[in-house]
Chain A
Amino acid sequence: MKTLGFLLQKEFRQIVRDRIILVMIFAMPTIQLIIMPMAANFEVKDIRIVVVDNDHSSMTARMFSKIGASGYFHIVGYASSYQQALSYVEQEEADVVLEIPAHFERNLVREGRQQVALSIDAINGARASIGGAYLTNIINDFSQSTALDVVRDAHPVTANTPVIQMNYSIWYNAREEYKYYMVPGIFVLLLTLIGGFLSALNVVKEKEIGTMEQINVTPIRKWEFIAGKLIPFWLIGMIIFTIGLLVAYIIYGIVSVGSIGLLYLFAAVYLIALLGFGLLVSTYSANQVQAMFLAFFFMMIFALMSGLFTAIESMPTWARTISSLIPVTHFVKVVRMVMLKGSTFQDVHMEFIYEIIFAVVLNTWAVINYRKTS
Chain B
Amino acid sequence: MAEQVIICKDLTKRFGDFMAVNKISFEVNRGEIFGFLGANGAGKTTAMRILCGLSYPTSGAATVAGFDVYKQQESIKRNIGYMSQKFSLYENLTVLENIEFYGGVYGLSRKTIRSRSDELINQLGLQQEARKLVGELPLGWKQKLAFSVAIFHQPQIVFLDEPTGGVDPVTRRQFWDMIYAAAASGITVFVTTHYMDEAEYCNRVTIMVDGKIEALDAPQALKARFQANNMEEVFYQLARGAKRSSD
Contact = CB atoms under 8 A, between A and B. Distances in A.
Interface stretch (B18-26, B33-41, B47-55, B205-213): B47-55
Interface string A206-225: 00011101111111100000
Interface in B90-112: 90-93, 97, 100-102, 104-107
B73 interface: yes
Interface string B40-83: 00000000000011111000000000000000011001101010
Interface in B104-143: 104-107, 133
Contact of B56 (A6, A220, A373): A373
Per DSSP, chain B at the interface is loop
B171 interface: no
Interface string A199-211: 0000000000111
Contacts of A217: 52-54, 77, 80, 82
Given A14-B93, A213-B84, A217-B52, A373 B104 contact: no
B87 interface: yes
B229 interface: no
A13 B87 CA distance: 20
A368 to B, nearest CB: 16
B92 A14 contact: yes
B107 A374 contact: no
A14 B82 CA distance: 23
B78 A219 contact: yes
Given A10-B101, A210-B86, A2 B73 contact: no
B88 interface: yes
Interface string A1-26: 01101110110011001100000000
A225 to B, nearest CB: 9
A372 interface: yes
Nearest to A222: B74
A17 B132 CA distance: 13
Interface of A: 2-3, 5-7, 9-10, 13-14, 17-18, 209-211, 213-220, 372-374
18 contacts: A2-B104, A2-B107, A6-B104, A6-B105, A9-B100, A10-B97, A13-B97, A18-B92, A213-B88, A214-B82, A214-B102, A217-B82, A219-B74, A219-B106, A372-B53, A373-B53, A373-B55, A374-B54
Q: Considering the complex of A and B, which 9 residue pairs feature the smallest CB-CB distances, nearest first? A: A6-B104, A210-B86, A214-B88, A217-B82, A210-B88, A219-B78, A219-B77, A10-B101, A218-B105
